[in-house]
Amino acid sequence: MEILLKDVLEFDKLRKEYPDRRIKLRFNKYKKYEDITYNFVEWYKEDKESKKFKNSLLTVWSNKKKSIQDNDIIFQFIEVEENKWLLVDVAKILSSNNDNGIAESETLKEYEKYFGKLTVDFTNSPNQFYYVEPQIIDNIEIFEITNKPYLEMEKCIK
């Protein structure tokens, strides 16, 4: 049976509550960029509340293009296996116009019960790391929701 992300996370309700905001899914994966290595899984395991991890999710600029706007609600995923993405945060952007390039945000608390437990199986397009198009985000299937944090489960311990 197909269970869609939009149904569990109630995107329609969210759109009614925040009609002036867009829903964005952001897919963060391991990468090396110049002298920085972005290892989201390790950072999450070390301390999911750390400034390094949170700031890396809220970086405003990507290749000189602004990727976060003030009207965004961003569902943040990290890649835990090839094409398998773990929900780690839902951020309502308060301000994306900061000198440090990091957006100010507020976590939407009603989604915290899914953080670290909800995964989707999604093939990301090359060079694409976020989606706002409803025809895409409203059709992503949930792979699983676990009782225990996904990265603490035996199958994930390396």
Determine phi and psi for 11, rounding to 5 degrees: -60, -35
111 and 73 Cβ atoms separated by less than 8 Å: no
Span 69-119, pLDDT tens digits: 888 999 999 999 999 999 999 999 999 887 788 889 999 999 999 999 999
**Of 124, 143, 122, 6, nearest in space to 73 by CA:** 6
Which band of pLDDT confidence, cut at 50, 70 and 90, is reported for residue 3? very high
Tell me the pLDDT of the chain averaged across its residues.
88
| Residue 125 confidence (pLDDT) above 90 | no
pTM: 0.90
Q: How many CA atoms lie within 13 A of 77 on its CB side?
A: 26
Longest alpha-carbon distance in the chain:
47
The pLDDT assigned to 58 comes to 87
What was the pLDDT predicted at 63? Answer: 55
